[in-house]
A and B are shown apart, each in its own frame.
Chain A
């Protein structure tokens, strides 16, 4: 049995997830990791590198290139008493498995009158910024946040990469963990599991008085950078890390905005009908009379993700755009993005 980290250590998000996978598989005979190239190749993003040699082909299972098939197999394994961790190489490919996720995993507990649960964990790499173009770079985190019956978690720091997996395996229902590819190489402190807290609660990553910057996952580091830049200009921004898109932790974001009276939401997904729209609506519902500015949003431009580096950078949220939106909020105005 692997020992949990006793003291706070520094590790990358990739190392943190690898440690979590290894620990889970060693600790529980029912846990397996399955997906495309997770075994011999070590994972497309090298997350499971080394685990195949250590743990063997019965616990680290390479699957055919068929998302619908191997997600369905994972659901069957979960129904049969296993605790499968299914890796989908990128969130973009999850669309091939939508039927299994949305029509089967999310519904069986309800349709069986509570007799059947699907304790599956699906890990998905998500997001852009690596010049992988329009079929490998989109963020569908918010889409899945729309669906009752599943849970959608989004780690933004190494600590959450380290501890969300075991919490997901302990959940009796399907949990999707969206891991932003831009975070794998970033490092951060990782403490004991108890420090990470409930994965379904939003966390204030930086307290501030003047406005709330609300985000999750891959955009968290740039939002923290933007907060630092704003602080230099005399604007004290609070950064709220949602961590979980379903169920959405309404009270933490609402309490933050009730203190600051201004909000800007940062989401790498598209703006129209995205999770940023849901967050904005909840703020309007719960703290309209506490607002001192229109609610601002910084999202990806409404285009298929471009391949050229400069166009991709222009399409994604950036520190510059976040700072601009925050300044507009301080002036009680809003930057309305038109594309």
Chain B
């Protein structure tokens, strides 16, 4: 028998002072297990699923949904570990959608949950099922003005009810409601309104950038990295796997940065109280541009230990969650180094702003073909411009240049594992072919 303990509002980021419990996913009497998502909490950044870190029984919810409380405030009382019981009441009342993330996403996308077909175990609805339902339903028609206003105001038109043509007035209504919700403060269920979240995010970006720019003496060095071999091999790999198994160049670059940072530890850590403090692991923050405007930088933990396939999965996960504004607790862990990749945006070079207290930021531009000298001849090579932005208090150009060189050196080895695995199976295929030939 374990005595009762309190479960407190967690800190979901260094700059979080308080949060609003948007939704409880547990009830008194439920048995919860380590890693289970028990509540959805809204911070300035986004909605975050809060996980619990012990096996226990829920005795009492101390704070109702909709209330803002400071970090550290007890929000639930937990009892001792109990024997196996049925699944939580929360999951029982969710029908075929068992994931709270998907349930809320379905609400937001206005998907009729009764119409969903689950392809997961026991007919559970998976994310793919939900997205397929969204993709196949009749497309909403927007007038040119509505499309412009939606883009300007960060309004997601697919969240609008009904199926008639969406006009500018409809978007203006949503924007007006967003303002109204913000004025009401943190109460009420409308906190997930995308417009209501836009401004706090902008304010947060503003204060972070202001602080970084004021404090950090930035310097930049950059170079182009030849990606010919990496892209060739990736093309081979991607042609052999299904769409789900495809690896994007962005994931390769992330792996390369993480491994290079392990070799050049001076770029991986924080400037705290006038001194550099090296990080024990390479926890990479990845800058994700949100469609409605603003950026968010979820963390991929221990990125230097990830294989390329794992990295691709992690990247897909954090990008999807960041765009849906539903980060997990682990996504908000402090990062030791940040990567921004403009690839999709098509710009050549980025000179970014470091996220204090980190000391470096790696920026990649679009991959483009350039005319270059190759072995004394003129060649056309796909290249990416990589920029190391450094905190000059913490390290100098030489370290930055070594880091940049190391990134370039790591790129092909990152996918070597991928290629080897594939080539073995290819060789088996080839052998099989030979054997068939011999038998004839």
List chain A positions with a Cβ less than 8 A from chain B: 261, 288-293, 331-333
B residues in contact with A292, CB < 8 Å: 143-146, 167-169
Does B236 sit at the interface, judged by CB under 8 A?
no
| A332 in contact with B144 (CB, 8 Å) | no
* Alpha-carbon separation in the docked complex, A147 to B53 (Å): 80
B131 contacts the other chain (CB 8 A): no
- Answer whether residue B104 sits at the interface, using C-beta atoms and an 8 A cutoff: no
Q: Inside 8 A of B164's CB, which chain A residues have their CB?
A: 332
Contact of B145 among A261, A331, A333 (CB under 8 A): A261
Considering the chains assembled together, what is the distance between the CA atoms of A291 and B164 in angstroms? 16
Q: Which residues of A contact B380 (CB under 8 A)?
A: none
Interface hub of A288, A290, A333 (most chain B Cβ within 10 A):
A290
**Which size class do B's interface residues fall under?**
10 to 19
Residues of chain B within 8 A (CB-CB) of A291 are: 143-145
**Residue on B with the closest CB to A332?**
B165
Tell me the bound Cα distance from A1 to B71 in angstroms. Answer: 91
Q: Which of B145, B164, B168: most chain A CB closer than 10 A?
A: B145
Which of B129-172 touch A at CB < 8 Å? Answer: 141, 143-148, 164-165, 167-169
Closest CB in chain B relative to A286 CB, distance in Å:
12
Q: Is the CB of A289 within 8 A of B145?
A: yes
B25-64 interface code vs A (CB 8 A; 1 in, 0 out): 0000000000000000000000000000000000000000
Identify the closest chain B residue to A330 (Cβ). Answer: B167
A59 vs chain B, min Cβ distance (A): 55
Q: How far is the CB of A285 from chain B (nearest CB, A)?
A: 12
Interface CB pairs A-B, < 8 A, 27? A261-B145, A261-B167, A261-B168, A288-B144, A289-B144, A289-B145, A289-B147, A289-B148, A290-B144, A290-B145, A290-B148, A291-B144, A291-B145, A292-B143, A292-B144, A292-B145, A292-B146, A292-B167, A292-B168, A292-B169, A293-B143, A331-B165, A332-B141, A332-B143, A332-B165, A332-B167, A333-B165
Extra A-B contacts (12), CB below 8 Å, given A289-B147, A331-B165? A261-B167, A288-B144, A289-B144, A289-B145, A289-B148, A290-B144, A290-B145, A292-B143, A292-B144, A292-B167, A332-B141, A332-B143
The answer for the CA separation of A291 and B167 in the assembled complex, in Å, is: 9
Cβ of B145: which chain A residues have Cβ within 8 Å of it? 261, 289-292
Q: How far is the CA of A292 from the CA of B144 in the complex (A)?
A: 6
The count of A-to-B residue pairs whose CB atoms sit within 8 angstroms is 32
Smallest CB separation, B339 vs chain A (Å): 35
Residue of B143, B165, B169 with most chain A CB atoms under a 10 A cut-off: B143
On chain B, the residues within 8 Å of A331 by CB distance are: 165
Query: 1/0 per position for B285-327, CB-CB distance to A under 8 A?
Result: 0000000000000000000000000000000000000000000
Ranked nearest first, the 8 interchain pairs of A and B with the lowest CB-CB distance are A332-B165, A292-B167, A292-B143, A289-B148, A292-B145, A292-B168, A291-B144, A288-B144
Rounded to whole angstroms, the CA-CA distance of A273 and B49 in the bound complex is 60
CB distance from B181 to the nearest CB of A (A): 25
- Distance from A259 Cβ to chain B, minimum over Cβ atoms (Å): 12
Contacts of B167 in A (CB 8 A): 261, 292-293, 332
Q: Return A230 CB to nearest CB of chain B, in Å.
A: 17
Q: Which residues of B contact A333 (CB under 8 A)?
A: 165
Closest to B170 in A: A292
What residues of B have a CB within 8 angstroms of the CB of A261 in the complex?
Answer: 143, 145, 167-168
Considering the complex, give the chain B residue whose CB is closest to the CB of A258.
B145
**B168 — nearest CB in chain A belongs to which residue?**
A292
Bound complex: CA A291 to CA B169 (Å): 11
Which chain A residue has the least Cβ–Cβ distance from B143?
A292
In the assembled complex, the Cα of A291 lies from the Cα of B168 at a distance in Å of 8
Complex Cα distance, B121 from A189, in Å, reads 80
In Å, the complex CA distance between A333 and B144 comes to 13
Which residues in B have their C-beta under 8 angstroms from that of A288?
Answer: 144
Cα A293 to Cα B142 with chains together (Å)? 9
CB distance from B351 to the nearest CB of A (A): 32
CB-CB nearest in chain A for B147: A289
* A289 to B147 CA separation, bound complex (whole angstroms): 8
Chain B nearest Cβ from A238, distance in angstroms: 16
For residue A164, give the distance in angstroms from its CB to the closest CB of chain B.
36
- Expressed in whole angstroms, the Cα–Cα distance for A261 and B168 within the complex equals 8
CA gap between A288 and B148 in the complex, in Å = 10
| Whole-angstrom CA separation of A289 from B144 in the bound complex | 5
A293 CA to B147 CA in the complex, in Å?
12
| A residues less than 8 Å from B169 (CB atoms) | 292
Give min CB distance, B49 to chain A, whole Å.
38
**Within the complex, what minimum Cβ distance (angstroms) separates A23 from chain B?**
47
Contacts of A290 in B (CB 8 A): 144-145, 148, 168
What separation, in Å, do the CA atoms of A292 and B171 have in the docked complex?
11
Closest CB in chain B relative to A302 CB, distance in Å: 28
- Determine the distance from Cα of A261 to Cα of B146 in the docked complex, in whole angstroms: 10
Question: Complex formed: what's the CA distance from A288 to B142 in Å?
Answer: 13
Determine the chain A residues whose CB is within 8 A of the CB of B165 once the complex forms: 331-333
Q: Which of B144, B146, B165, B169 has the most CB of A within 10 A?
A: B144
User: What are the interface flags for B263-300 relative to A under an 8 Å C-beta threshold, 1 for contact and 0 otherwise?
Assistant: 00000000000000000000000000000000000000
User: Complex formed: what's the CA distance from A261 to B169 in Å?
Assistant: 10
Q: Tell me the bound Cα distance from A157 to B143 in angstroms.
A: 35
- Rounded to whole Å, the gap between the CB of A192 and the closest CB of chain B is 40
A-chain residues with CB within 8 Å of residue B147 when the two chains form the complex: 289
User: Which A residues are CB-close (under 8 A) to B148?
Assistant: 289-290
Query: Which A residues are CB-close (under 8 A) to B143?
Result: 261, 291-293, 332
Closest chain B CB from A6 CB (angstroms): 47
Question: Considering residues A289, A290, A293, A333, which has the most beta carbons from chain B within 10 angstroms of its beta carbon?
Answer: A289
Whose C-beta in chain A lies nearest to the C-beta of B167?
A292
Q: Of A261, A293, A332, which is in contact with the most chain B CB atoms at under 10 Å from its CB? A: A332
Closest B residue to A290 by CB, please name it: B145
C-alpha spacing A216/B7, complex, angstroms: 74
Chain B nearest Cβ from A287, distance in angstroms:
9
Residue of B nearest to A291 (CB): B144
Per the bound structure, the CA–CA distance linking A290 and B169 in Å amounts to 11
Shortest Cβ distance from residue A235 to the other chain B in the assembled complex, whole angstroms:
13
Cα A335 to Cα B324 with chains together (Å): 39
Q: Chain A nearest CB: distance from B255 CB in Å? A: 42
**What CA separation (Å) do A333 and B143 show in the bound complex?**
10
> Chain B contacts of A289 at CB under 8 A?
144-145, 147-148
Residues of B389-425 at the interface with A, using a CB-CB cut-off of 8 Å, are none
Compute how far the CA of A333 lies from the CA of B148 in the bound complex, rounded to whole angstroms: 19
Q: Give the distance to chain A from B59, nearest Cβ to Cβ, in Å.
A: 55
In Å, the complex CA distance between A244 and B387 comes to 59
